[in-house]
A = this chain, B = another copy of it.
Amino acid sequence: MNTIETVRVGLLGFGTVGQSVARILCAGHVSRVQLTHIFNRRVASKHVDWVPPTVKWTDEIDDVLRSDVDVVVELVGGLHPAYEWVRAALTSGKSVVTANKQLIAHYGAELGELARANGQQLRFEASVAGGIPVLRALQEGLAGDRLVEVRGILNGTCAYILSRMQSAELPFAEALAEAQAAGYAEADPTEDVDGADAAAKLAIIAAVGLRRPIRVSDIATQSIRPIDFVDFQYAKEIDSTIRQIARAAIEEDGRVFAVVGPALVPIHSSFGQITGSQNLVMVRGVFGGETWFSGSGAGGSPTAVAVVSDLLSIGRHAPRDAGLLPVASVAEVSSDFVAPHYVRFMVADRPGILAEVCAGFARHGINIEAVVQLPRYRKDRLPFVATLEACAASVLGRALADIARLEFHVEPPLALPILA
């Protein structure tokens, strides 16, 4: 057997994930990885007695960046100063493990190049889907396939809110308040419910799995805020429920599609059954068909497992393995998926509305599959739903812009793709 030297590790950030990483490294079953430094801004308040006395605690970042650690674990989050610190670590000949999705989604290719140039590694399994080793599976385990599609539930906050709306018939605002009280949503939930969080993760998955780097800002996002609990009642009529789904696909001709937003999924499907912090990722390859991964998408311990697994990989692999992100040029991204759609109208009822809506769709060549109107709603705020045969999102958008001009709406129409 080859002897492999011990990897010395400096931890930046000692919050939930950082503490969990330290717990695993100090639990005794991980050999060849030694925690030597812990950096945190208010380090005095962070000391714990279960970390060996050999570990140096510091609130000076240079104590880690200028130390003899082999790997810096970046868990401070956010773009800055994480970006500068990671650059400094790589430049000074240290490898980096990070759980920072925004950092990797925005600067992953550049930082990966910097790692390569310095003979170091940049690993970020923890940045997507917490404890599920999906990036490694895409990059290595399915490397022999040509992956053409990915779909995932990547945001636990949305899964929690939407499943609570479904099961308890809550309006969005109440489900959000509940999620905030339960620690599933932040005081400002924008990044989660409006899709930026899932978009960053999708950009990373697309780069690693589809081998097509895309800009996060190019991914169209649709908020879950306009979802009403009547949408769950209507969705149930077609054995469906609603989840925030992140999707990307690459066409035969090389065009890249990506979008994040609420979608109808079959209620008994794997997607429909995700309720909380579980994440789920499906990838489809030309040769291997669909492969599914699910598990804990968040939480200190699962995320820490991904970080520690990356640390062990750095001990095991030669630096030439650093190229996790393709060095292709950034692809243009379309959000114009073709899919059947669910469109929910909220109207002040009067005779003739349905005819005008149907005529609107017909003018744009869109076929209506069914119209559903459940009883018991108020006439002045009447929801009804049209399900549409497969059409491009852009065509539907133009039809709805037309239809939205009619005077009977009390809310803008809500269109959601129906995913099989």
Contacts and interface: CB of A to CB of B under 8 A. Distances in A.
Contact of A305 (B142, B306, B321): B142
Contacts of A287: 20, 23-24, 131, 301-302, 304-305
Interface in A267-316: 268, 270, 285, 287-296, 301-302, 304-313, 316
A1 interface: yes
Given A137-B137, A141-B125, A131 B289 contact: yes
B304 A144 contact: yes
B131 A312 contact: no
B292 A293 contact: yes
A330 interface: no
Interface string A305-337: 111111111001110110100010000000000
Given A268-B268, A321-B316, A295 B291 contact: yes
Contacts of A289: 131, 295-296, 301-302
Nearest to A306: B144
A273 to B, nearest CB: 8
Nearest to A130: B288
Interface string A13-51: 000000010011001011000000000000000000000
Contact of A136 (B132, B140, B285): B140
Contact of A288 (B29, B131, B140): B131
A229 to B, nearest CB: 24
Given A288-B131, A291-B296, A296-B289, A313 B140 contact: yes
Nearest to A292: B294
Contacts of A136: 136-137, 140-141
Interface residues of A, number: 55
A182 interface: no
A145 interface: yes
A248 to B, nearest CB: 18
A188 to B, nearest CB: 28
A412 interface: no
Nearest to A304: B287
A142 B305 CA distance: 7
**Chain B CB within 10 A, most for which of A23, A304, A320, A327:** A320
A215 interface: no
Contact of A143 (B142, B270, B308): B308
A54 interface: no
A171 interface: no
Contacts of A327: 1
A4 to B, nearest CB: 7
A167 interface: no
A150 to B, nearest CB: 13
Nearest to A284: B295
Given A1-B116, A131-B289, A145 B305 contact: yes
A276 to B, nearest CB: 12
A301 B142 CA distance: 12
Contacts of A20: 287
A309 B143 contact: yes
A133 interface: yes
A236 interface: no
Interface in A132-164: 132-133, 136-137, 140-146
Interface of A: 1-2, 4, 20, 23-24, 27, 29-30, 116, 125, 131-133, 136-137, 140-146, 268, 270, 285, 287-296, 301-302, 304-313, 316-318, 320-321, 323, 327
Given A133-B141, A133-B291, 5 more contacts: A2-B116, A27-B146, A30-B144, A144-B308, A288-B295
**A-B CB proximity, top 7 nearest:** A133-B141, A144-B308, A291-B295, A131-B288, A144-B309, A288-B305, A318-B318
5 contacts: A131-B289, A132-B141, A141-B309, A145-B309, A289-B296
